[in-house]
Structure 1
């Protein structure tokens, strides 16, 4: 197979967040910024944005054949991972999956949600806007997300403070896929 250099991708992505169930941009608008009324730009990131998929398969085997005779999907995990470079209270709240915010003249505050583990978390949606082959745009929409990784704010003399985030995709319904990927083609 010959190499098609038009299929090589390099460049940054932009992340947006919206409420779970927010109106998604239509596929034909893949090259436009999502509506600010429903989607908020998370700002700068550092060390890129990664979309990952992990699939676990159980083996099917029989005594008479030494090879795996089949596999069945037993688990799927999809994530969007980055380090948020803008260490705002809004980004901290997002990575801690919500909480209580307040503001007044010259100040704003945030307190994380510390309710019972039986309480439903505040799911949200994420849009990852990056590049596709041909220098076109690719949009990945995670429809029901939570940050499932540890959060830390490191204040050091010689390094930038970042908020690490690993947003995990969650099941939506039998009729709604949890992820939608669309590429611009012209």
Structure 2
């Protein structure tokens, strides 16, 4: 099969976040910016945005043959990872899965959730707008996720301060896929 250079992809992506269950933009709106009233742009990123889908298949086995006759999907984990280049308090609230923000004359503040017992986390959805084949737009929607890895922020005199983040995706419902990819076409 010859190389089709139209299938080569390069370029940045823009990340948006919204509350779990927020209405998704229509597939036909793949080239449009999501509604700012529902979707918050997380700002600049550094070192790209990485989507990982980790699938585990368990082999089937029978006594009568030595070959593995097949396998079944037994686990799937999917994540979005990036470094947010805008380490704002608003972004920190998303990275820590909620908290309390306040502002007053001359200040803004943030405190993480600090309940003394296990609580239901605040799930979000992530929308990634990037590039797909044929130099057209590609949208990836992770429908239910949590920031579920360590969040780091380093202050150094010779490098930019970033927030590292990894969102893990979760099961939504029997009739709703956990994520969706939409490609624009001409």
Q: TM-score range by the shorter chain?
A: over 0.9
Unaligned ranges ≥5, structure 2: none
Looking at structure 1, the residues matched to 175 and 65 of structure 2 have their Cα atoms a distance apart, in angstroms, of 38
What is the deviation of 1:176?
1.4
Looking at structure 1, the residues matched to 37 and 75 of structure 2 have their Cα atoms a distance apart, in angstroms, of 35
**How has the CA–CA distance of structure 1 residues 182 and 116 changed in structure 2, closer, same or farther, with 3 Å as cutoff?**
farther
TM-score, with length taken from structure 2:
0.96
What does 1:1-186 correspond to in 2, within 5 Å?
1-116=1-116, 118-186=118-186
Give the match's secondary structure for 1:119: coil
Give the match's secondary structure for 1:168: strand
In the TM superposition, what whole-angstrom CA distance separates every residue of 1:5-58 from its partner, at most 9, and x where no partner exists? 000000000000111111211000000100000011000000000111000111
Unaligned ranges ≥5, structure 1: none
Give the match's secondary structure for 1:28: helix
Q: How many residues align?
A: 186
Looking at structure 1, the residues matched to 172 and 59 of structure 2 have their Cα atoms a distance apart, in angstroms, of 27
TM-score, with length taken from structure 1:
0.96
CA RMSD of aligned residues (A): 1.1
